[in-house]
Structure 1
Amino acid sequence: MIRNISLVGAGNLATQLGKALKQAGLHINQVYSRTQSSAQTLATVLDCRYTIDLAQLEETDLIIVSVKDDALEQVLDQLRHHARVVHTAGSVPMKLLASYVGEYGVFYPLQTFSKERDVDFTSIPICLEASTATFYDELHKLAGRLSETVRSINSEERKVLHLAAVFTCNFVNHFYHLGDNLLEERGMDFELLQPLILETALKVKDLKPSDAQTGPAVRFDETIINKHLQLLADKPELQKIYSFVSESIYKTKNSN
């Protein structure tokens, strides 16, 4: 049974996951980060010890690694003597861990995380994969203490899931940023768009996204589209984005 957990990484995901684990009654043994300030900050929040040296990471029931994808192998190479390790990456296959540690797996909470904003883990899907059935069962019990939605998702499925998440979260948030900039230039507040954002998100709980699509691009209203492009005359990059996305919306909607 998994009772004691150490966290490798002290970023957005590790911070919120650590809080959720502690709240669920798990014991956080240690936190590791490359920088003392990050490690110490999270350790203070979780009331645990910290280290900036992976060689000082003690054996425990489970080590959860939440670091950048390109740093994962370097970290794993220093965790070879540990028995049970999972990573939290969306696009890294589970088999990457096979040559480094004993039992291994993936513990992937599908959500966007920020250190400063607490989240309710009960509604976050947690996607699992494990090297053995026994280890999977233990991870499932652990995930079940945090979330009402726990799914078995293999590496290939998770890769596509992560790609879909980039489209529906990261890209959409970038569009929020672009919209915010446009309003800010004219002295308007982003709060004006927030009811629209919320309704757009709520609609796809009841409708397929293709059925929820509205706007000038759906009907290819050239008059409005051209007016918008004129407003972006001094922003050629935004013109390209606007034209490309509008064309994609129209073609997708009319191919169904």
Structure 2
Amino acid sequence: MIKITLIGSGNVSQHLINAFAKNSAIELIEVYSRTKKEISPLLDSNKIVTNLALLKEADLYIIAVSDDAISMVSEQLPFKNKLVAHTSGTASLQSINLKNRSGVFYPLQTFTKNKEVDFKVIPLCLEAENNTDYLVLETVAKSISDAVYPINSEQRKALHVAAVFVNNFTNHLYQIGQEICEEHQVSFDILKPLIAETANKINTLSPIDAQTGPAKRNDITTIESHLSYLSNENQKKIYTLLTKSIQNNGKKL
């Protein structure tokens, strides 16, 4: 049984707590949090520690904090030559202080507080300095997920940038669509089946083959009509930029 300590109490840590709690192959020794209040509903209070100096012995320490805090937290760890992994999509292996062995345990998913997720389908991207440590990360990852990938730092950065496009930017476009609907007293719910079908299509089609709409058809009349209709200058700029990107798709510059 692999003994794990989690460091951090944010969304990623809370979801990992739930995933590890259901797992008989690993033992969650404790979780570090600056205060007990944030995670006290998730596990016994005697497993919550608020002082890094009091961390118990474990086989793997997973740092689930903001990217900017990884180096500082890893520097404060009171031990040496232990396997310490972070959960960041962009931070390098070198973000972990050199006194310990470094790794990456990156779940590629958007996490929302109090919204349960199925870890079995969440891709876990792993990286380690040596094969022995990688096998430890892989054992832990495969105990909670069926989608485990060896991903180096450069590949992880590419995935994270791509994830911003398909998740964060897409969600922002949903927000714009909702604002347009609300401005004209139309229910945003009417668009939800379209959103679901658009997302579902990429399970069987490549994004380029699934693309539809006036930009794809080069329907200039409709495009100009939409731009004339939009009164928000920011929305116009986004519409124009995305339209040009779709029109230029596949063309050599």
TM-score of the two chains, using structure 1 as the length reference: 0.91
1:1-256 equivalences in 2 (<5 Å): 1-2=1-2, 4-25=3-24, 26-34=26-34, 36=35, 39-48=36-45, 49-79=47-77, 81-82=79-80, 83-97=82-96, 99-101=98-100, 103-233=101-231, 235-253=232-250
Contact 1:12–1:113 under 8 Å retained in 2: yes
Give me the whole-angstrom Cα distance separating, in 2, the residues matched to 1:255 and 1:194. 35
State how many pairs are aligned.
250
Helix, strand or coil at the partner of 1:151 = strand
CA shift, 1:9, in A, is 1.4
Q: Which moved more, 1:67-76 or 1:56-65?
A: 56-65
Give me the whole-angstrom Cα distance separating, in 2, the residues matched to 1:227 and 1:158. 41
Runs of 4+ in structure 1 off by over 4 angstroms are 253-256
CA shift, 1:165, in A, is 0.8
Q: Which moved more, 1:87-96 or 1:219-228?
A: 219-228
Q: What do the CA deviations read for 1:61-87 (whole angstroms, capped 9, x no partner)?
A: 221111111111111111151512100
Identity within the alignment, % = 43
Superposed CA RMSD in Å reads 1.8
Helix, strand or coil at the partner of 2:19 = helix
Contact 2:52–2:78 under 8 Å retained in 1: no
Give me the whole-angstrom Cα distance separating, in 2, the residues matched to 1:245 and 1:33. 42
Q: Which sections of structure 1, spanning at least 5 residues, go unmatched? A: none
Contact 1:30–1:43 under 8 Å retained in 2: no
Helix, strand or coil at the partner of 2:204 = coil
Q: What do the CA deviations read for 1:142-171 (whole angstroms, capped 9, x no partner)?
A: 111111111111111111111111111111
| Shift in alpha-carbon separation, 1:191–1:253, aligned structure 2, 3 A | farther
Q: Which moved more, 1:88-97 or 1:187-196?
A: 187-196
- One-letter amino acid matched to 1:173: N
- One-letter amino acid matched to 2:33: S
Q: Which sections of structure 2, spanning at least 5 residues, go unmatched? A: none
Give me the whole-angstrom Cα distance separating, in 1, the residues matched to 2:228 and 2:43. 52
Q: What do the CA deviations read for 1:38-72 (whole angstroms, capped 9, x no partner)?
A: x4332331335223332233332221111111111
Give me the whole-angstrom Cα distance separating, in 1, the residues matched to 2:246 and 2:214. 10
Q: What do the CA deviations read for 1:198-256 (whole angstroms, capped 9, x no partner)?
A: 111111111110000001111221221122112222x1111111101111111115559
Give me the whole-angstrom Cα distance separating, in 2, the residues matched to 1:127 and 1:141. 13
Contact 1:232–1:239 under 8 Å retained in 2: yes
Give me the whole-angstrom Cα distance separating, in 2, the residues matched to 1:99 and 1:141. 24
The structure with more helix, counted as a fraction of residues: 1
